[in-house]
Amino acid sequence: MKNRIIHAEIFKAIISEKTTWVFISLKDTNNIEGWGEATLSGRENEIYNIKNDIFNIILNQNYQSPYDLKTKLPFENIVQASISSAIMQCLWDIEGQINKKIICNVFKKNRDTIDIYANFNRATKDRTLDGIKKKSIEVKKEGFNFIKFAPFDEVTTNMNTNEMIKSMKSGLDRLNVIRDVFDTKTKIMIDCHWRFNYNATIQLLKECKNFDLYWLECPIAETINNIPLIKKLRKKANSLGIKLAGLETKILKAGFHNFIKAETYDVIMPDVKYAGGPDEMLEIEKSLIKHDIEFSPHNPSGPISYAHTLQICSSAKKNSLMEHQFKESPYFHILLKDPMPKIKLGKSSIPNNTYGLGVSLDRMELQKISH
């Protein structure tokens, strides 16, 4: 059945001093609305500068499947990819509503329950050891089996190796507090946000062997030239019983190819906001399975990307561990027309309040904080 998108809209929702969520809405000729998320921290103005050009590519174009419009969308850089991926999210939301199915059933649902880990980094405003302890206790009460934090505030990429090693001490102190709060059954993941170089990461891994880490994430820049170094880091981490995780900002299956082929990571973390949308996420997972690499979607953003990622994980071939930002803002729930499934002991069901995505945004609430 042919369809056309006749209206496109973008919303920039100011959540906190550090966080802005960007949402996109598309409507078709039958006034069916689909929602997507294009959040790209600190680059909202770049998104707005090109939004009209990209919207014009898909507006008033006849199509039978979201795949038809995907071939027209640009994915040359992460700004383009954030809008194009959000458009694909919208299109699959609309497609599900047309076919009276939730998205996971459009692709084939494989499970009803998704394993969730709590990323409580941004929710931890007080970065002192007491603040870290207090927030860790709050997270522990929720019963998550996996948690993540980014402790290395003081480390920056312009430092030399000795400066990085010296500056990582405060982060290790934070990590020590986190380990003390959580029992040994709780798996801890640490995100480095590409702050380190190779030699400093080697030292970091040696320091981390006493914390029984589950994984170390994004220690160094994920460039093609760094693939041999990342592969060496994986080997070192594995020798200490630690997994290496990364690749949250790569675009389309092609952007992951060289890293997958080289087997750089134990865990690869595509993000529905950049990787190309729901269908592309599932194609990436198939590539990972062939190389026995874990699929664990990156998802520290707003409720729309979260809902899409739940649908993706439901359709994934293998059970996967999915990220969720822990209570950064009450707007995560306020902005929704219908409630999101509650996370209970680190598990969530699939949104199914409506067809398609299963949830939608409340425009009245969204307008209150949009600019």
Per-residue pLDDT of 195-206, as tens digits, reads 999 999 999 999
Q: Are residues 200 and 269 in the same domain?
A: yes
Q: Do residue 83 and residue 117 come from a single domain?
A: no
Q: Is the pLDDT of residue 17 over 90?
A: no
Query: Mean per-residue pLDDT for 249-266?
Result: 98
From CA 233, how far away is CA 359, in angstroms rounded?
40
24-51 b/e (C-beta count within 10 Å ≥ 16 → b) = bbbbbeeebbbbbbbbbeebbebbeeeb
Q: Is the domain of 200 the same as that of 312?
A: yes
Tell whether 152 and 188 lie within a shared domain. Answer: yes
pLDDT in tens, 35-65: 999 999 999 999 999 999 999 999 999 999 9
At residue 290, the pLDDT reads 96
Do 34 and 75 lie in a common domain? yes
CATH of the domain at 130: 3.20.20.120
Q: What is the CATH number of the domain that holds 29?
A: 3.30.390.10
**pLDDT-derived band at 289, boundaries 50, 70, 90:** very high
Residue 252 is predicted with a pLDDT of 98
- 318 and 252 in a common domain: yes
Provide the CB-side half-sphere exposure for 232 (13 A, CA): 11
Residue 371 has pLDDT above 80, yes or no: no
> 97 and 115: one domain?
no
Place 209 in a pLDDT band, splitting at 50, 70 and 90.
confident
Give the Cα separation of 112 and 96 in Å (integer).
17
For residue range 82-94, list pLDDT tens digits in order: 999 999 999 999 9
Domain count, the chain: 2
Question: Which residues span the domain enclosing 179?
Answer: 105-360
- Do residues 59 and 37 make contact, with C-beta atoms less than 8 angstroms apart? no
Residues 246 and 263 in one domain: yes
Supply 241's token pair.
Answer: 């019983």
Shared domain for 49 and 113, answered yes or no, is no
Whether 269 shows a pLDDT value over 80: the answer reads yes
Closest listed residue to residue 262, CA positions, set 292, 227, 293, 290 = 227
205-to-59, 209, 210, 232, 290 alpha-carbon distances in Å: 50, 6, 10, 12, 28
- Do 90 and 113 belong together in one domain? no
pTM over 0.85: yes
